[in-house]
Structure 1
Amino acid sequence: MNDTTAPTSGAPAVAHGPAGGAAQAVLARFEEWARTSPHAPAVTDGAHDWTYEEISAAADEAAAVLRGRVRPGDLVGVCLDRSAALVVAAVALARLGAVYLPLGPRPGARRTEAVAEDLDVVCLIGDPGVLPPAHRDGEQVKLPLPDRGANAVATVVAAFAEERAAGARRAPAGAFYAVLTSGSTGRPKAVAVGERSLAGLLDWYRDETGLAPGDRQSLLIGVAFDPHVMELWAGLTSGAALVPAPDEVRWDPAVLAEWWRDAAVTVSVAATPMAEPLLEGPWPADLVLRHLVVGGDRMRRHPGADVTATVHNAYGPAEATVVTTVHTIRPGERPADLSSAPPIGRPVPGATVAVTGPDGRPVAVGEEGELRIGGALLALGYVDPELTARRFTGPPVREDAAAPGASAPAGDAAHDGARAAEGAPGPGAAEGAASGLARVPGAADPQGGAQAAAADPGTGAPSGLAAVPGAGAPAGAPEATADGRAGAVGSPATPGAHGGARPAGATGAPVEAPPAPPVSAVPGVDRLYRTGDRVRMDADGVLEFLGRLDDQVKVGGVRIEPAEVEAAFEQDPGVGGAVVTASRTPEGRTRLVAHVRPAPGARPVGDALLAAVRAWLPEQAVPAAVRIVDAFPLDANGKVDRAELARQPDRPAEPGAEPTAGATFGERLVLTAVRGELGLPDAGLDDDFTSAGGTSLAAARLLAVIRREAGVRLRAPELLRQPDLRAVAALVDARRTTDRRTEGT
């Protein structure tokens, strides 16, 4: 069922998701399950189970240790993997009113230090052995967190740095969690999300998947990425059991399918690149998986006819609380045209989407444009208010005030008006600033607070803002006249009628009506987030994803800002400059290449540079290869010609890197797969897989090639333990020999 308000033919490309109800607070829902179903399983990790009562009690103990050191609104970085300990830490921080900042189990020392310089992170929670030096040398307090499970660590501490950076920013008021995204300045950005937005998302998730007691919800997504927050709280607010995935599951689609089966997972979230090989079939047998939510990258093909789970192709940036639109494909549903990629669908409840032109106004249905997002699921903004002001803007004004616009969901205006009367902000009315576009009633205050409660007695708009007909109400709906009655849009009120005020000294002469105020081009929203994504909307309100408008790229489902990768390389004094380009492999995957210009007198080595940037970057942002260049080509405007750089051919492999005439089957297979299918043309048999540019997704593809071509099933840990690709090849040869002997007996 989808009650999306879609545009009519020829109308502006604006669509509203179904009106959402009053979402119950996230933490309150968990508390209710802990009270009413204390003995139900909350976390199941292999042979280990924790009930809702046990998770609640453990969270109380952890919160008691932190209380007084961690205050409401404080940012706390969490460096834990998927585990019961992570779940307990999230609940404890929510009870303290702190802001959960998931960084992942091994965020990298330099990246963590950069975060601590920009953000006022009170402490880091994690294994003391992986914390950065500034936190290893400061005060550490042991936390009583669960120490069992596949990804558990023996000791977890809350580490407080000896000194916190002066001028570091706190999270905006009302933040429930924050996540890092790639930043164009070379440093990650922090997006802050309020509890109300997350609660609205979770309402959609539960309604769409039917997640309920007795279900098993995956805890699979990497902890540093925002879909992990949806997974974690979806389980805890549904009475379901969370099932943390062992680390090797995220490397290999075949292992993922086995884990779904063995752990009896009924509802799962997975990155599109990991799930797509399974969706293309044959679909694994004996799964109890009912719903699979995929996202993070473009879905290239429709699920196979034998897929028994309902597949939700979800789209959404962290700035709009994980999911904004979704296209649902139920078992057996097959479109007439299988050659086109599945769309990203319609907006979820509470979300509004608009396809806009360069002027920020909606284009017509069927035209391409930039996707902007509004509604109740918007994040509060970035922790940096200046960046918030640039990316979260007020809605544009219609050029023709009389022109019909797309209608807003019924009830939004009344709901927001009631909240304004109570002094509470409307949807998204937190950190966010209007740009040069006209602001509408209820638009968020640039400094992060809600609009002032004082309202103009004639319009009901906050003092100092002009009322905008149509904002928050369906276009063409009656507007309030000066006495509060409904009247036609733009109809002049009779001066003095029904007690209306007259100018001082007036004798009954007619007063000229003021000019009609501007009309919002996107009714029903007070802010819009500019995604930078290029899309097209059809007449049914369904969005098709077409690509990016800027240099930002997606690798393995993670948005990467090339400037951040370039800045990481430029930390090395031997690097005079770095430019990162992205290209597509024949299989349609994104491959990053770093082009490095040495500093005068320096002779940087590609492998050493790659090893160094791993401390700064998430693994998806580490380029597959480094090219040492004398200079960067320039275009007619004197800017680096990235397209020309990307067109330059790869340098040939180093002498001796080719397999010899006597190379084994495994050596030929591994080297061909790594160079060809994984897009790492410089790799040699003496290279370590990771140093050659291998990522977790690349490892998954290599394992799939080995299984397909050699009939050998290796596990990700086996691959990563090998000192070089030659050793991987030897393992393939040895396993093939063993398997043949077994078959012959």
Structure 2
Amino acid sequence: MPTESTPSSEPAPTGLPALVAWHAERTPDALAVADGDSTLTYAQLARAARALAGHLRRRGVRRGDAVALLTPRSARTVIAQLALWWAGAVCVPLDPAHPRPRSEALAAEAGVTLTVGDAKLLESAAPAGPTLALPDEPHTEEPQPDEVRAGGPQAAGPLPDAAAFIMFTSGSTGRPKGVAIAHRAIAELVSAPAYLTLTPRDRVLFHSPLTFDASTFEVWSALANGAAVVVCTVERPSLEDLAQEVERHGVTVAFFTTALFHQLAVRRSRIFAPLRTVVVGGEALAAHHAREVLQAFPWLELINGYGPTETTTFATAHRVTAADCAGQIPIGRPLAGATAHVLDEAGRPVPDGEWGELWVGGSRLSLGYTGRPELTAERFTTHPEWGRLYRTGDVVSRRPDGVLDFHGRTDDQVKVRGFRIEPQEVEYALREQPEVADAAVTVHRPSPDDARLVAFVVAAPGPVPRPDALRDRLAAALPAHLVPDELTVVADLPLNASGKVDRRALADLLTANGPDGSVGSDGSSGADASDGSPASAPDGPLTPLEQAVADVWSRSLGCDVTRPDADFLALGGHSLLALAVTDDLREELGVELSLADFFGFPTVAGQAALVERALLAAHGDLHPHAPEDTDGH
């Protein structure tokens, strides 16, 4: 394996730091990272990461230490990841948007010994324990000689089978699962990939949260191949933000969750025009959306990717053609060292065309679940013929040519907007609330392109819980994707013949909203609102601007919005629908609303006031600022 001081004619496939070092010596002046108005060449990236690695080692970081990383997306994020690996540490990404208790739980689960990151975030969101603020500017001093000398303790970087990341997925027991992913697995996924086109002249968009395993592809597919990473530094980018980022920096390769791709496809977004390759994944890809995009942008290489975190981002992939769009779009064949086995309940292969559970093997399986040997043994098994396998829980079938089709799950796990969710984790959090006797969570699909996490709770004796109050408490403990978009109070939960919750029957309860405290169709609580809360306000009349906002909401939410105090979140709105609404407001009213403003004033009246101020400011009548909080938010 080559080290950064002794490059070979070909990069090693077993270490990302070695790959970056190889490119830094071969093409030192090539663009590596673009971050807003700043850039880093490969030589600058390697020098900054080596210097920071030395700083980390002087602070006591040792090989194998789990170190949390808490930063907004930026060039410093890329430098810090690389530095942690050169220091021998395991990177545990944390999301600045997650509640602090959630980050505390993840850090404890991973055995974090130090948290590094942005100084302000460390003050406000870091888990307990030692912290280290990253410098505002990258380290530029030369590393110490013993840190790069051939044969030095860190010269070769991390061992190929050592953990590079610990990334967390939803857990069925209410406890998230930390998945340890090896350097070798990531390097094999991204090095000279055969499943898509990627050259040193490409620019890859990095816009996913660092805690989402798609970010592994976004950053390291570029840097492993001498290409450039384009970092979207907007914390919650709108559809327009993403399009501008792609256009401004000449991005050629991008990953979008399937749900985001569907939103972009509906709008025939101009984001596709500069791109050559788009990878989608997370949920089933709708054929009609894929067909529309390929017809409008026929040069586009559209890749449908599939893979749980345990299989290192992607296990299979399929390049989508116009012919595929006549039916169900497949998830393709195994890629980059992965193997796929379709088995029955007894672990025997099923014939082509029949449904079975997908078991994934090969060299890119994760190391298992951190600190969870029993769970690791349950999900990862050793087969006498095929070696180590991971049981995905996904139902697939194989076509005669080896291409796989996806058909659903063997258990209750769901995917919502690209996030893997164990309903039991949300149910556990709900049952912890004193007003809740029982809870069940499922997915509601009001339209083919909209999936919403919905919860049903049975009240404990005493006052009926208010859905908005329950959601607020969950939001203080769980990441946003685990907070139900809709919450309904019911008398009891439907059970099947085995006495278990009948999740298919839960959807029928959505029509049972009423005076028991459930969310009403207009966004009001439904509970007794005689206390003067906004829920008791009369319908309309809406001002012209409020009506314009309500019309945009109605189209995205799939319901009539008639009240100025209607709340976007209470109506089942979520971050992806917010992207669509802000894009429509920009198109129809000529006003740019950031997602921060959108969620800061989530009522019709509040957003109409934002629109009015923005329009007046555009005409020079006043300076834009947040509207007065006149609607109770």
TM-score (norm 2): 0.81
Quote the residue 1:195 is aligned against.
183
Structure 2 contact 32–40 (Cα < 8 Å) conserved: yes
Structure 1 residues 186 and 72: CA distance shift in structure 2, 3 A = same
Quote the residue 1:328 is aligned against.
319
Quote the residue 2:264 is aligned against.
278
Quote the residue 1:611 is aligned against.
472
Quote the residue 2:29 is aligned against.
39
Counterpart AA for 1:703: T
- Note the alpha carbon deviations across 1:266-303, whole angstroms, 9 max, x for none: 22222222223434564628943221111112210223
Quote the residue 1:449 is aligned against.
none
Quote the residue 1:630 is aligned against.
491
Structure 1 residues 562 and 614: CA distance shift in structure 2, 3 A = same
Q: Which is worse superposed, 562-571 or 600-609?
A: 600-609
Structure 1 residues 88 and 733: CA distance shift in structure 2, 3 A = same
> Equivalent residues in 2 for 1:320-469 (5 A)?
320-329=311-320, 333-335=321-323, 338-383=325-370, 384-395=372-383, 440=384
**Larger relative contact order, structure 1 or 2 (CA cutoff 8 Å, min sep 6):** 1
Structure 1 contact 65–143 (Cα < 8 Å) conserved: no
1:109 maps to 2:100: yes
Which residue of the other structure, out of 589, 594, 598, is the alignment partner of 1:719? 598
The 1-side partners of 2:166 and 2:485 are apart by 29
The 2-side partners of 1:296 and 1:675 are apart by 27
Counterpart AA for 2:89: A
Which residue of the other structure, out of 290, 293, 298, is the alignment partner of 2:284? 298
Quote the residue 1:663 is aligned against.
542
SS at match of 1:97: coil
1:581 positional shift: 1.9
SS at match of 2:295: coil
1:735 positional shift: 6.4
Structure 1 residues 681 and 381: CA distance shift in structure 2, 3 A = farther
Which residue of the other structure, out of 18, 29, 53, is the alignment partner of 1:63? 53
Quote the residue 2:482 is aligned against.
621
- Note the alpha carbon deviations across 1:119-170, whole angstroms, 9 max, x for none: 311122233544488957644333335489xxxxxxxxxxxxxxxxxxxxxx
SS at match of 1:527: strand
SS at match of 1:388: helix
The 2-side partners of 1:387 and 1:705 are apart by 45
Counterpart AA for 1:727: G
Alignment identity in percent? 38
Q: Which blocks of at least 5 consecutive residues in structure 1 are unaligned? A: 1-20, 149-170, 396-439, 441-470, 472-524
The 1-side partners of 2:206 and 2:542 are apart by 42
SS at match of 1:106: coil
The 1-side partners of 2:496 and 2:560 are apart by 27
Structure 2 contact 161–183 (Cα < 8 Å) conserved: no
The 2-side partners of 1:143 and 1:283 are apart by 37
Structure 1 residues 552 and 665: CA distance shift in structure 2, 3 A = farther
The 1-side partners of 2:111 and 2:356 are apart by 37
SS at match of 1:585: strand
Quote the residue 1:447 is aligned against.
none
> Equivalent residues in 2 for 1:574-589 (5 A)?
574-589=435-450
The 1-side partners of 2:263 and 2:38 are apart by 30
Structure 1 residues 203 and 172: CA distance shift in structure 2, 3 A = closer
The 2-side partners of 1:134 and 1:48 are apart by 26
Q: Which is worse superposed, 663-672 or 61-70?
A: 663-672
Q: Which blocks of at least 5 consecutive residues in structure 2 are unaligned? A: 1-10, 140-158, 515-519, 527-534, 622-633
1:667 positional shift: 2.9
Quote the residue 1:237 is aligned against.
224
Quote the residue 2:252 is aligned against.
266
Which residue of the other structure, out of 148, 156, 171, is the alignment partner of 1:183? 171
Quote the residue 1:93 is aligned against.
84
Structure 1 residues 661 and 219: CA distance shift in structure 2, 3 A = closer
Which residue of the other structure, out of 55, 58, 69, is the alignment partner of 1:78? 69
The 2-side partners of 1:296 and 1:317 are apart by 9
Quote the residue 2:426 is aligned against.
565
Q: Whose helix fraction is larger, Structure 1's or Structure 2's?
A: 2
1:211 positional shift: 2.8
Quote the residue 1:48 is aligned against.
38
Quote the residue 1:16 is aligned against.
none
Which residue of the other structure, out of 100, 111, 125, is the alignment partner of 2:116? 125
1:538 maps to 2:399: yes
Quote the residue 1:698 is aligned against.
577
Structure 1 residues 70 and 637: CA distance shift in structure 2, 3 A = same
Structure 1 residues 356 and 707: CA distance shift in structure 2, 3 A = farther
Structure 2 contact 551–561 (Cα < 8 Å) conserved: no
Counterpart AA for 2:165: Y
Structure 1 residues 210 and 339: CA distance shift in structure 2, 3 A = closer
Structure 2 contact 160–184 (Cα < 8 Å) conserved: no
Structure 1 contact 683–692 (Cα < 8 Å) conserved: no
Which residue of the other structure, out of 565, 586, 589, is the alignment partner of 1:686? 565
Task: Name which one, 1 or 2, has greater alpha-carbon Rg.
Answer: 1
Structure 2 contact 552–584 (Cα < 8 Å) conserved: yes
Counterpart AA for 1:102: P
> Equivalent residues in 2 for 1:512-527 (5 A)?
525-527=386-388
Quote the residue 1:596 is aligned against.
457
Structure 1 residues 640 and 684: CA distance shift in structure 2, 3 A = farther
Counterpart AA for 2:162: G
The 1-side partners of 2:558 and 2:409 are apart by 22
Which residue of the other structure, out of 524, 528, 535, is the alignment partner of 2:389? 528
The 2-side partners of 1:378 and 1:388 are apart by 12
Structure 1 contact 611–691 (Cα < 8 Å) conserved: no
Structure 1 residues 691 and 147: CA distance shift in structure 2, 3 A = farther
The 1-side partners of 2:125 and 2:96 are apart by 17
Counterpart AA for 2:254: S
SS at match of 1:394: strand
Counterpart AA for 2:109: D
SS at match of 2:387: coil
Structure 1 contact 73–173 (Cα < 8 Å) conserved: no
